[in-house]
Amino acid sequence: MNCRAMRKRTGILVALCLCLFVKESLALLPHESEVINKCILSYGGLNPETAERLGRFKDWAEGYEEIPCFTQCYLAEMFDFYNSSTGFDMDAVVRAFGEPVYTACQRKLELPFGSGLSSCQHAYEGFHCITNAENHPFTVIDNMANISLSAKTAMKECLQNVDQAKWKRFAAYGEYPVIEPIPCYTRCFLDKLHLFDQQTRLWKVGAMRQHLGVPARGASIRSCHLQRGKDRCATYYKQFTCHALALA
Ligand SMILES: *[C@@H]1O[C@H](CO)[C@@H](O)[C@H](O)[C@H]1NC(C)=O
Ligand SMILES: *[C@@H]1O[C@H](CO)[C@@H](O)[C@H](O)[C@H]1NC(C)=O
């Protein structure tokens, strides 16, 4: 998923997507660059070095905010889901990122026990968790629309067989690249769902629609089964992509 797609999905944000600084043609959210500049003023403002650091926001250590108090300042200025005294607003976080993200980070998002006030550390740890959970493949799967529970389970099970180092490639599926991001992954979950009839050599289109929400009704998919890749996995991927992208 590219920055723009991510931004569209959540209505957010910079630190996740620093390519926005580099590509001037892509506008930041209104006021975002001003806010960022303000929030890191005492660390030299927005310059190549601070921009590079912010670009790695997701990789900052869990308990250590590299630009201290940046997150609290940024969130409080930019978004309604965070208030610098009362902390994260559960409903607003759910609206912005989805229930699975809230649940994954709940422990970090609630105010620390015995403290009535949010802090720089609370803001950082909560938001750091959100930005990482949001792209966790299981969260992406849980947030998918029009996908059956068995399809979600099959997708998660198939990921368990994949080396975790490759999990970050999962987001790329959203753009349907020509080469499958995780080779054989599509074949794994389609087989688990029994969507290809081995006897007739045909796709069970009705079941595919029921489980995966594609192809669209009335889409022209007649030539999809003719597509071929370099091996069986690549063929599955090509044919599935063809069904998913076919227009009604
Ligand atoms: C944050 O919450 C406090 C307490 O509810 C409220 O007084 C304040 O106006 C809120 N700040 C913003 C920016 O909404
Ligand atoms: C989900 O299905 C509904 C009704 O079939 C449709 O209107 C909607 O566009 C679908 N959403 C996605 C993300 O495909």
Q: From first to last of the 248 residues of the chain, give the pLDDT tens digit.
A: 333 333 433 333 443 443 333 333 334 556 777 888 899 999 988 888 888 888 888 889 999 999 999 999 999 988 889 999 999 999 999 888 888 889 989 999 999 877 789 999 999 999 999 988 877 888 888 888 889 999 999 999 999 889 988 988 998 898 899 999 999 999 999 999 999 999 999 999 999 999 999 999 999 999 999 999 999 999 999 999 999 999 88
The closest ligand to the CA of 79 turns out to be 1
Neighbours of 172 (CB within 10 A): 15
106 and 172 assigned to the same domain: no
Could you tell me if 90 and 130 are in contact, meaning their C-beta atoms sit under 8 angstroms apart? no
Q: Measure 213 CA to ligand 2 centroid, in angstroms.
A: 7
17 and 125 assigned to the same domain: yes
Question: 135, 165, 195 — which closes off a domain?
Answer: 135
Q: Where are the alpha helices (DSSP H) in 56-148?
A: 70-78, 90-97, 99-109, 120-134, 137-142
In short, whether 85's Cβ falls inside 6 Å of ligand 1 is yes
pLDDT recorded at residue 61: 94
Q: Could you list the residue range(s) of the whole structural domain that residue 163 is in? A: 148-245
* 128 three-state secondary structure: helix
Q: Measure 246 CA to ligand 2 centroid, in angstroms.
A: 15
pLDDT recorded at residue 49: 85
Q: Which residue has the tokens 């289109």?
A: 205
The closest ligand to the CA of 88 turns out to be 1
75 and 39 assigned to the same domain: yes
In short, whether 248's Cβ falls inside 6 Å of ligand 2 is no
Domain count, the chain: 2
Q: Measure 115 CA to ligand 2 centroid, in angstroms.
A: 43
* pTM, two decimal places: 0.64
In short, whether 213's Cβ falls inside 6 Å of ligand 2 is yes
Asked if the structure places residue 140 within a domain, the reply is: no
Q: Measure 71 CA to ligand 1 centroid, in angstroms.
A: 17
Residue whose CB lies within 8 A of the most ligand 1 atoms, among 80, 86, 122, for a mutation test? 86
129 and 168 assigned to the same domain: no
8 and 129 assigned to the same domain: yes
17 and 40 assigned to the same domain: yes
23 and 129 assigned to the same domain: yes
Task: Work out the mean pLDDT of the chain and round it to a whole number.
Answer: 85
62 and 88 assigned to the same domain: yes
CATH code: domain of residue 210 = 1.10.238
Amino acid at 108: K
In short, whether 22's Cβ falls inside 6 Å of ligand 2 is no
Question: 135, 156, 189 — which closes off a domain?
Answer: 135
pLDDT recorded at residue 44: 87
Phi, psi for residue 83 in degrees, rounded to 5: -130, 130
Picking from 97, 102, 104, 188, the residue whose alpha carbon sits closest to that of residue 151 is 188
> Cα(191)–Cα(86) distance, rounded to whole angstroms?
48
